[in-house]
């Protein structure tokens, strides 16, 4: 991404108003980004209560930092950077003790599926949740940003303040590690 170029983001209208102190506009931003933000927070913290709390903390930080947002990256990239830093700091304070099993979220994700979803589909998603849960935090973070938040490599690098090459290498290792875990979990009849 070129520095200084204005990248169009569907949130731009609300961002401009929120920057001028419009609370309702910021509320709209929260409404439209909260599911992604919560999922990102969850993948870093692996604890639903902590993820919810830290997502809120991250939004408050974003609100306070909004006057400094210059628009030289997408707003969502900027927001995810705040979320990632907030959650990583929290995780450093708490260590792994905060992690819960992923059954809770896997079940919740099941609830999102259409009733006609096949048993295989449910099984596969459960395997994915549990395999992702076994990955190190940095792998989970890049996978979430790439596949769930659908950020580009450049945007992930900007969100995590990592070099592009490191992001690509991490994603590649994360996929490889996940592929092995999925193979292990595959039901063998």
Partner 1 sequence: MSNCRTYHDRIAELANATTDSISDLALQQHLAQCPSCRAELARLRRAETVLRAWPLAPLPHDLVAPVMARIARYPTEPGWQWLPWTVWVPALAITITIGTVLAANLVGLKLPESAPAALTLPPATMPIMASLRQPLGAAGRDLFWAIWFGLFFTLAGVGVSLGLMSRQSQLDDLTADLRERWEALRETARL
Note the residues at the interface with partner 1 (CB under 8 A): 23, 26-27, 30-31, 34-39, 42, 48, 52, 55-57, 59-60, 63-64, 88-89, 92-93, 105, 108-109, 111-113, 124-125, 127-128, 136, 138, 143, 147-148, 161-162, 166, 170, 172-173, 175-180, 182-183
Nearest to partner 1 of 46, 74 (CB atom): 46
Q: How far is the CB of 108 from partner 1 (least distance, A)?
A: 5
Q: How far is the CB of 52 from partner 1 (least distance, A)?
A: 6
Return the residue matching tokens 């947002």: 69
Q: How far is the CB of 179 from partner 1 (least distance, A)?
A: 4
Nearest to partner 1 of 7, 182 (CB atom): 182
Residue 100 near residue 46, CB atoms below 8 Å: yes
Nearest to partner 1 of 74, 91 (CB atom): 91
Q: How far is the CB of 119 from partner 1 (least distance, A)?
A: 15
Query: 43 is written with which tokens?
Result: 């993948």
Q: How far is the CB of 33 from partner 1 (least distance, A)?
A: 9
Nearest to partner 1 of 99, 127 (CB atom): 127
Nearest to partner 1 of 5, 54 (CB atom): 54
Per DSSP, the residues of the chain read --TTPPPP-TTHHHHHHHHTT-HHHHHHHHHHHHHHHHHHHHHHH--HHHHHHHHHHHHHHHHHHGGG--SSS-HHHHHHHHHHHHHHHHHHHHGGGG---SHHHHHHHHHHS-TT--HHHHHHHHHHHHHHHHS-HHHHHHHIIIIIS---HHHHHHHHT--HHHHHHHHHHHHHHHHHHHHHHS---
């Amino acid at each position: 991404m070129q520095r200084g170029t204005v990248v169009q983001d569907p949130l731009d209208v609300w961002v401009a108003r929120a920057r001028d102190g419009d609370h309702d506009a910021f509320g709209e931003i929260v409404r439209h980004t909260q599911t992604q933000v919560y999922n990102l927070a969850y993948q870093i913290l692996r604890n639903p209560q902590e993820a919810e709390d830290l997502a809120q903390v991250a939004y408050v930080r974003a609100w306070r930092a909004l006057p400094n947002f210059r628009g030289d990256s997408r707003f969502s990239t900027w927001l995810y950077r705040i979320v990632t830093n907030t959650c990583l700091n929290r995780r450093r304070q708490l260590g792994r003790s905060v992690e819960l099993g992923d059954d809770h979220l896997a079940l919740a994700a099941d609830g999102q599926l259409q009733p006609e979803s096949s048993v295989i589909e449910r099984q596969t998603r459960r395997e994915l949740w549990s395999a992702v849960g076994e990955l190190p935090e940095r792998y989970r973070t890049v996978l979430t940003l790439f596949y769930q938040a659908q950020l580009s490599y450049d945007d992930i690098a900007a969100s995590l303040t990592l070099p592009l090459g490191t992001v690509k290498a991490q994603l590649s290792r994360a996929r490889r590690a996940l592929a092995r875990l999925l193979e292990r979990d595959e039901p063998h009849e």
